Structure 1
Amino acid sequence: MSMASTPRENLPAPRAAARRRGRLARNLWKSRYMYAFVLPGLLYFLLYRYVPLLGSILAFKEYSPFQGILDSPWVGLANFRRIFENAEVVQVLVNTLVLSFLQILFAFPVPIVLAVMLNEVRSDAFKKLIQSIVYLPHFLSWVVVIGIVTVFLRSEGLVNLLLERLFGISSIPFLQLPALFKPLLVLEVIWKESGWGTIVFLAALAGVHPELYEAAVVDGAGRLRRIWHITLPAIRSTVVILLILRLGTVLDNGFEQVFLMLNPYVMNVGNVLDTYVYYKGILQSDFSFATAVGLFKSLVGLVLVVAANRLAKRFGEEGIY
């Protein structure tokens, strides 16, 4: 039998490997423009997401800037034990979990409701107007958002001015009340980010064929029935995927928003893991402990994502992998 007719699986290993490399090179060259388009994103994740993971070794050392990362003494899991032995860290962890629970409970469903409502609007012009209005705050930085909230709610702000002139109520320190700190954060997230989530769910609803709604109308289904049996099932998979991803950041409340809203009056209820790592790692130079807290956050997020994904698959959803 000639070499040309030799089956591919019977080729010698070096020659088979050479053929695979040649085929890979041809495919890369054929799709070179597509890979060039993807390259900046890959470099971003490589440089800012994966390379910094090498610094996680600080969590297992007692880091000293004078000794460097490699020469600092190894302490094993001592920094992780401090997370559970320190009463301050436990309080910070509780604050983080409560705030995340409130955001999932109240902020997460808002884009779903808005998307369902906009899907029922028949006027394209009105729908686009509402979409633009709710999506606009997404482009504002948290500095601007917190500045707006401060202008309205400070002691001499617009809200207190209206309360005093219309109802004779004396000035209320909204920003200094611990009971209002978490509700204000949730309301800010709803106002700023609901528009982004709405667009995601509307994109999922764009794949629903109009004939389904027409058939439901012929069968006598009302508006609520159409929403329950057609609209909501159409976005169920998207809801599950976004919820799984949200659970992965359950210990990540967003540093910038919380940091800008903190003040000495609400520190006990507002200090979360993100700000705590900043105070311990940057201001107090406890880099090893701050790294351990950050690594602990990542591990908890990973466990929650894996568990939620398996639970979603058990109930018949595709999950994220």
Structure 2
Amino acid sequence: MEYLEFELPIKELQEQYEKACKIGADSDVDVTGTCQQLEKKIEDTKKDIYKNLTAWQRVQLSRHPNRPYTLNYIQAICGDTFLELHGDRNYGDDKAMIGGLGKIGNQSYMFIGQQKGYNTKTRQYRNFGMANPEGYRKALRLMKSAEKFNIPVVTFIDTPGAFPGLEAEERGQGEAIARNIIEMSQLQVPIISVIIGEGASGGALGIGVGDRILMLENTWYSVISPESCSSILWRSWEHKQTAAEALKLTAKDMKRLKIIDQIVKEPLGGAHNDQEKTYKTVANTITKTFGELKKLSAEDLVNQRMEKYVNIGVYKD
């Protein structure tokens, strides 16, 4: 288990607990009482730390190396029913953007999402979850196929942004994202977007125009990352904590500002601490949300979706 800087008190207690248990196992000394006390202290410390997380600490949790990624969710939720589909039928197959058909129970969905890697090799293969134009065009192709066969769309958002390289711009990165936004706003099937990690900039919006936006508890959603914001305003990354607070990028902030529709509760310590429970919660939430959306006609879906996004950012003094 890897620990973040603010989790070090938990790590120290966990090491003491394991050491005490080892002493009990290797000798005749009864350490049952000590182990129970340490267990309680670990639980109390976790509750104290995780109930008072800052915006920057939630950003750190969203990037935790053990946190599940898009394919983990899809494979856990769909099992053997998932069929991955490839290519944009124009340029190539972007490995940072994955998609395909799968089932939750007896209901089929078109799943689309950004995929990150777990080590140096897979991170390069997945381009760190930063999609090229062909990734967004592949996503749009799959969405249009879903619309043709009246299949609801589920998108998993987890990206530090769209790939900003020269070759991506040459192939029309901005146009691809803009096209997705306008096409998703008019798609005549239910769209459920789930932010499972980082939701940054246009890279997230390119698959993030949904009838319902769900956000896991320890994720963030913003026009810019705290580090980039800090480097623009202060010419340094040193003020990233201040930027994170100012950007109002946490799930609670997004819900209060009416940008998202629901916060999905995570296990204590984050999604990586109990992945199976997280998968089950996400699957149940998707099923429940689709149950609400399927009652609407295609015309009502589009009208409500358009109204939802038109109203974002509107306020009165």
TM-score by length of 2: 0.26
Higher relative contact order (CA 8 A, sep 6+): 1
TM-score by length of 1: 0.25
Q: Which has the higher strand share?
A: 2
* Higher radius of gyration, 1 or 2: 1
